[in-house]
Structure 1
Amino acid sequence: MKIFGLEITRQKAIAPVQSQSIWRPVIRESYPGAWQQNVEVRQEVVLAYHAVFACMTLIAGDISKLRVKLVAKDSSGIWSETSSPAYTPVLRKPNSYQTRIQFWESWVLSKLTAGNTYALKERDNRSVVVKLHVLDPSRVTPLVSDTGDVYYELQPDNLAAKSERVVVPASEVIHDRFNCLFHPLVGLSPIFASGLAATQGIRIQENSAIFFGNSSMPGGLLIAPGAISDETAQRLKTHWESNYSGKNAGKVAVLGDNLKFESMTTKAVDAQLLEQLKWTAEVVCSTFHVPSYKVGIGDMPTYNNIQALNVEYYTRCLQPLLEAAELCLDEGLGMGEQIGTEFDIDGLLRMDTTAQMDALDKAKGLLTLNERRAKVDQKPKPYGDTIYMQEQDHSAEAIAARDKALIEQSENPQAAEPPSEPTEMQERAFVAETLLAMKKAMEAA
């Protein structure tokens, strides 16, 4: 069988013949008793709710735009970006039919929708992973053998010509899972907690559409002063619905025989539909850990600090997803302890121009000029690979030597001779020697 052009043979299914599935059909109730009351939360309906759709696409879009870096640890324990023919190509182009951004969107959306992301590995003759394919989570089943080994049963996708299943070992699948509340191999989507609120929001919108489709005229009762026959009641009902409801709502009705019309449906204002709709959207945002203002719900914070807002969004929502994906890539691609992957979050946590310039100015003693210029996409300068300090700054060794001399002088004041004042010639010679040393250092750099 072929999945995304990758040939998978039946020989791989021999080992886990005695495997037993841990993924059983389980009734997931949105609240206790929902199943008995025939309350159904359908995933395709929940995904159509604007808050769910906005949270998922926001998270997937923000993560997919981040570049995945290959980093290596040097002898000093510092991680810096590097490249490798075994890992760099698959990070830049995961497969032949998706860009890097499309691949990571599929990865994150699968995790948020189903709680699980399954990425099938494709290897070359060197057994190096050259392609990654995000599978439909509804067509993948985790299996555990009697010996405790993990396998995955793969069903063909809806574009496959043949319908046969295969079972592959866990070494051939990267499994990124979310909220493992019931089993360590079974992830759970945030929709599990927000499905009822999203369904309620959908129903509020449907009721509003019906209400406004009736020209904002609620339903009601036609009341007769006395007894009427069923035939007369049906005739009045049909006449009223055809002439004074739907597109005809709001027309003038002339009632005789003391007939009265009384509104029965609760008006939108009385039901506080806007407040209820906002509440359901806020519940959805809380389950995805997304600040509600990020998806247009509620007011923006009053303080004007873009970096602080982005840091809050990153730490509460994105950081667990990013670090989990990094670890899955490191283990799935077979990286060792000295090499790994990192998402470049500089673009996500970008500061405003004034704050960025101020931060770079304060980093003069930490970063070289060229390193600071690289932060703002400027080309390096020939003289920019040196860290500059102010003249009054001294090294820790010089301060320690000065303190040691002061202590020795205090312990033996008679042995210490007061230093003589330098002459003008000595000062000029010292300045000349210093300038010459600085010139030689710059030329060597």
Structure 2
Amino acid sequence: MKPRYRVRADGTDIRAVVPMESKAVSLVDDRGAWHTLIREAMAGDWQRNVEVKLDSVLSHSAVFRCVSLIASDVAKMRIRLVQVDDDGIWSETTSPSYSPVLRKPNRFQNRIQFFTNWMESKLTRGNTYVLKERDNRGVVIRLYVLDPTRVKPLIADDGAVYYELQQDTLAGQTLEAVMVPAKEIIHDRWNTLFHPLVGLSPIFANGLAATQGQAIQSMSAGFFQNGAQPGGVLTAPGAIADETAKRLKEHWEANYTGKNRGRVAVLGDGLHYEPMTAKAVDAQLVEQLRWSAETVCSVFGVPAYKAGVGTPPPYNNVEALNQQYYSDCLQIHVESVELCLDEGLELKGPYGTEFDIDDLLRMDTATQIDALTKATTGGLMKPDEGRKKLGLKPVTGGDAVYLQQQNYSLEALAKRDAQADPFSPVPAEPPAVTPEPANDDEAQARATLALLEKDFREALNA
């Protein structure tokens, strides 16, 4: 049996590629040496016992908000099956082979729950593994997002990629362990800094800031539980016995801290209370908390104001703000999911998948009406197409492109300018036609008519 190599990613710890039959912690492959077993956010964290635990970091408000915001924004966009025509235009369509799985990915999740689960796995673990279920035709009919901690990518000597799946009953994988080829798994990964098959969560970079923010919040909670009164020391003018010091300390903690805050302390025998801990304003807790939250948001690519940190920009243009948020944060995830689905569902011919970004980049009513009006009157859109975007039914005559009559083509304007006097309201006289020989009466009548026409033109021009 060919040796296969294992790649593991559990939380923020990225483990090197090691043979399944070996216990070595490093391996030299065709890309070079892997010597580090655990990647640290900062050098020396392991020696200083600085731990960044995934479960704890996820409870940080900024991390939780960024993950839920990105996941929900991607999931709320409707996924469409589209087809390209001979003109290269993509339009929505349906197919009995592909449409059902896009509408209902599996038996226990709708499309919003499915794509939310997809993005949460990618954002918190750096990897999303989706198991395919096929029918007798070989067509994918169900998709299951797997627990990333139960999946291990494998690489054979010939470069083929496999995945080792641990038991996952909800996804229909009831065996203790099974190995499947890469074509049965959709693997969406992000930040492959250490290996092309191992994604890395942004928590790798912002976990320390989130941990610091949690520590500040814990200290602040304890501070206010103590009545916002800092701790201190009781001092006496002379020496006191250890037993007396212990008794005084216990008496002080029992009667003047916690729920007994605010009580009046009577000190005798020359005792004096000296506060030791700095006040909250001196420690600048608010600024420190804002800094840690802004750092988290910057790593996820989320504008800080969308996570409730700081104030929004002063100008009132929702469309521009959403467009910036989409291009800086969401677009890479949207494009990645679309491409993974195209390849994973093995879409053939002119088919593809596409998120409807109109569900995200919705304009205010006035701006939307103005844009649709200009598009329809300018000949870019049919009235029925504009009405559809507003949820209105088609109307008679709405299935045509309209343009105002006073608009002329460049070719027509060029012909007009080629005239002797392009701005004259009277058309140029037609060239004289030599009359055919006729009798005297007919010739006399034609001559008289020509003179009358000439006099009429001169009078009109005058």
**Which TM bucket (shorter chain)?**
0.7 to 0.9
Matching residue of 2:62: 51
Which of the residues 152, 157, 176 maps onto 1:146? 157
| 1:188 aligned onto 2:173 | no
* Pairwise CA distance, 1:297: 1.0
Matching residue of 1:283: 295
Matching residue of 1:391: 405
Which of the residues 341, 355, 361 maps onto 1:349? 361
- Mapping for residues 209-224 of structure 1, pairs under 5 Å: 209-224=221-236
Inter-CA distance 270–232: structure 2 relative to 1 (3 Å threshold) = same
Structure 1 distance, partners of 2:202, 2:271, is 53
Which of the residues 81, 103, 110 maps onto 1:70? 81
Matching residue of 2:4: 19
Count of aligned residue pairs for this structure pair: 397
Structure 1 distance, partners of 2:111, 2:147, is 18
More deviation, 363-372/120-129: 363-372
| 1:306 aligned onto 2:318 | yes
Structure 2 distance, partners of 1:41, 1:249, is 35
Q: Secondary structure at the match of 1:71?
A: strand
Matching residue of 2:32: none
Which has the larger share of strand? 2
Structure 1 distance, partners of 2:230, 2:189, is 47
* Pairwise CA distance, 1:336: 3.5
Structure 2 distance, partners of 1:359, 1:420, is 47
Structure 2 distance, partners of 1:319, 1:337, is 25
Q: Secondary structure at the match of 1:22?
A: strand
More deviation, 160-169/94-103: 160-169
Larger CA Rg, structure 1 vs 2 = 2
Matching residue of 1:435: none
Contact 2:78 2:359 in 1 (8 A): no
Q: Which residue identity does 1:102 align to in structure 2?
A: Q
| 1:225 aligned onto 2:237 | yes
Matching residue of 1:12: none
Structure 2 distance, partners of 1:327, 1:131, is 18
Which of the residues 387, 393, 396 maps onto 1:373? 387
* Pairwise CA distance, 1:392: 1.1
Structure 2 distance, partners of 1:336, 1:258, is 90
Matching residue of 1:443: none
More deviation, 321-330/367-376: 367-376
Structure 2 distance, partners of 1:71, 1:285, is 34
Matching residue of 2:370: 358
Residue deviations 1:379-423, cap 9 Å, x none? 0012111111111112344345556x55xx79xxxxxx93559xx
Q: Which residue identity does 2:405 align to in structure 1?
A: E
Matching residue of 1:324: 336
Q: Secondary structure at the match of 2:176?
A: coil
Structure 1 distance, partners of 2:271, 2:367, is 72
Structure 2 distance, partners of 1:51, 1:242, is 37
| 1:265 aligned onto 2:277 | yes
Which of the residues 211, 228, 237 maps onto 1:199? 211
Inter-CA distance 278–419: structure 2 relative to 1 (3 Å threshold) = farther
Inter-CA distance 216–127: structure 2 relative to 1 (3 Å threshold) = same
| 1:418 aligned onto 2:428 | yes
Contact 2:82 2:352 in 1 (8 A): yes
Structure 2 distance, partners of 1:180, 1:44, is 22
Structure 2 distance, partners of 1:419, 1:80, is 53
Matching residue of 1:425: none
Structure 2 distance, partners of 1:140, 1:166, is 10
| 1:88 aligned onto 2:73 | no
Inter-CA distance 238–318: structure 2 relative to 1 (3 Å threshold) = same
Inter-CA distance 228–161: structure 2 relative to 1 (3 Å threshold) = farther
Structure 2 distance, partners of 1:47, 1:235, is 43
Structure 2 distance, partners of 1:358, 1:127, is 48
Structure 2 distance, partners of 1:175, 1:396, is 53
Inter-CA distance 296–420: structure 2 relative to 1 (3 Å threshold) = farther
Q: Secondary structure at the match of 2:86?
A: coil
Matching residue of 1:413: none
Structure 2 distance, partners of 1:397, 1:385, is 27
Residue deviations 1:238-297, cap 9 Å, x none? 111111111112211111111111111121111010111111111111011111111211
Structure 2, unmatched stretches of 5+, are: 9-14, 17-36, 422-426, 432-462
Q: Secondary structure at the match of 1:39?
A: coil
Which of the residues 106, 117, 126 maps onto 2:137? 126
Inter-CA distance 231–94: structure 2 relative to 1 (3 Å threshold) = same
Q: Percent identity?
A: 60
Contact 2:101 2:142 in 1 (8 A): yes
More deviation, 111-120/233-242: 233-242
Structure 1 distance, partners of 2:175, 2:253, is 52
Q: Secondary structure at the match of 1:132?
A: strand
Matching residue of 1:442: none
Q: Which residue identity does 1:253 align to in structure 2?
A: A
Q: Secondary structure at the match of 1:228?
A: coil
Structure 2 distance, partners of 1:99, 1:161, is 20
* Pairwise CA distance, 1:314: 0.6
Structure 1, unmatched stretches of 5+, are: 1-15, 411-416, 422-445
* Pairwise CA distance, 1:157: 3.3
Structure 1 distance, partners of 2:77, 2:399, is 28
More deviation, 313-322/20-29: 20-29
Structure 1 distance, partners of 2:260, 2:114, is 51
Structure 2 distance, partners of 1:57, 1:247, is 37
Structure 1 distance, partners of 2:297, 2:317, is 21
Structure 2 distance, partners of 1:361, 1:65, is 27
Q: Secondary structure at the match of 1:237?
A: helix
